[in-house]
Structure 1
Amino acid sequence: MRHYTSLTLRYHSADKAYKSHNKGLRAALLKKIIFAIIGCSLLLALSGALTYAVTVGSIKVGLISKGDPGKSEACERYGLPFYEKYNQELASNDYLPFAIASLNVYKYKFNSEFTLSYYASQFQLIADADHINPDMDIHFRDGAEPLAIAAFRGTRFTNFWDWYANFSWFTGFLPIDNAYDSARRDFAKARDRVQQLAPGKTIRWIATGHSLGGGLAQHIAFGFPCVSAVVLDTSFVTNKHVYDAPHDAAVIVHLHDKRDELTKLHHWIFKEQDTPTYRWYPLKLVPKGTMGHDSLRFVVGMSGMATNCQVRSDCQIPKTDLRAANIYCPTYGRKDEVCQPILKKLGLLNK
């Protein structure tokens, strides 16, 4: 026993040293990446400034008028829930469908059943919207009150054009389109496409996205009439300034993990405040020891939080609303104790 303990202690000591060494390597690599990004952004900023200075006399530099990106006909805004007394469990449940759409647009190879159409079968993914923009998903729910969701993909770390868009405060001076320019054009096409599916009906729109996708979603909400936005761990680069008359009545809700690195940077640069049309809701979801900006852990965590809430008597989520449990338990919640009765009811307990 003593010998076993000694081996165990040595194993843990070596493991600790290994982890410490790896942590040092990761920290050094992270510093290099950060300096590289800062260096690239400074070069792009300088390039943009020079381009602007040289070409301002020959290129028309103007703002986008309200009539350019979207139609001005009568429209109706989707009502997003605000809370007098904030409850993160209730917010997780209320905003889960938009969060799932924001996750699905990444096209991760995750559990194939953790999708918006599985969560709510009334939503259909407009497949041919991929021909408009493969980094934008369009979901549509027909009926008496049709609802469409435009989900924009967030940053892929190795994608140059994503970083080009992330630094568009600087690169926006360059005569090369970025994801914000594409989003305006593609959303206008997608909106026309969805209207063909419900002729004569007033369709309410929600734009959503995680990280860069959240910045794009807000950009669309400011540029098009009656579009609201639900954003997760969002970029604070919205490029609202490109519109000469932005839709300031756009309703925006920002949900973020309390440990999210991008939101911490946001709060370091800008103070986030509630207004009559803006709310930000912190959620404690992503476990320590992992990146707080992780979209998969965040969204799955929302479904798990709502499911675990419902076993308590003081939970404000109606017991009859089983949408979160029905998507969480058969996918990522199979080992969660609270899911066992649900899995048994669904006939999935031993599968």
Structure 2
Amino acid sequence: MKIANRMENLSPSVTMAITALARELKAQGKDILSFSAGEPDFNTPEVIKQAAIQAIIDGHTKYTAVEGITETKQAIINKLKRDHNLEYNLDHIIISNGAKHSLFNLFQVLIEKGDEVIIPAPYWVTYPEQVKYSDGVPVIIETDDSADFKITAEQLKNAITDKTRILLLNTPSNPTGAVYSKEELVEIGKVLEGTDILVLSDEMYEKIMYDGKKFTAAAEVSHDMYMRTVTINGLSKAVAMTGWRFGYLATPRPELVKSMIKLQGQVTSNVNSITQYAAIPALEGEADETMEIMRKEFEKRRDVAVKSFNAIDGLSSFNPDGAFYLFINIQGVTSDSMKFCADLLEEKGVALVPGLAFGTEGYVRFSFATDLETIEEGIRRIKDFVENK
């Protein structure tokens, strides 16, 4: 049997692979602590669960429109207006099976062979893989902790060519937790003025912000940015709905949404109907109190983890403004993140994700989306591991 050539250039997700390996080792009875998954350890809020149960009781178990039911799309519109004062219509929204699906739809609809997509590194592992699968070319802009893992307007300007189609921003970032300020987004927007380049803004972690800082959406900084920005978001991280598979895309360009509806209609059709009804109270703010409890707990864990890692000789941790990851500099120990993670898992039973998977060597990603006791024990083991090197 011959496998299609396009699969040759597609790499498996390292984060998913390490998470699966950690689960397998744990199932074998080994003492494994995994900090590899990007998944909140909290349960889905009760108001969302009850909305799902009610949807089943009410018989909302049939096919829906490919792009999603009107009520859920309207809740997305209300959310974007309430949070960012952005105006969208029903034909500006499409609901997909998670943000990853939204990304795939967008790349498939927009990118032709040789088109370039600018991606700041470190990046979420999926971005360059989907671009390559769509026959596009990922153009990587390197950053590090000395620049707070954010690109500058000058770096962006130097990366643009006549083949540039999309700038991809992820704020707050996976894997670093870096957040672009309003001023930084304004400067990026000025570089793009007069071009046809779209901004793909992945804002999945927008509700997980720390130290009282306010999140700024890319589309809200100017009218020009609003018109060129495609916002991708979902409910997986903010309200612990990872398994529900709910993502959405918003753009003031209805022709773009129309094309994605055509594609999705031939691939998956609609998102699970129960999930769509369950999403409404989350989007309308009915789970906000529970979300704030989760956010405060994440902040407490971040503070403990950053302090603890920075006390280990050879390691240093960037203090993230958002998300629930630390991107830890291991260059005082080694620059080989793959070997560091492999040895750590074998010797101490601790699973981290190598920075190489995110396009930046010399770092590892630590997810603090788990309880404080486990975090403290994991860091103790990492400290022992580093000290023995």
> Would you say same fold, with TM above 0.5?
no
What TM-score do the two structures reach when normalised by structure 2? Answer: 0.27
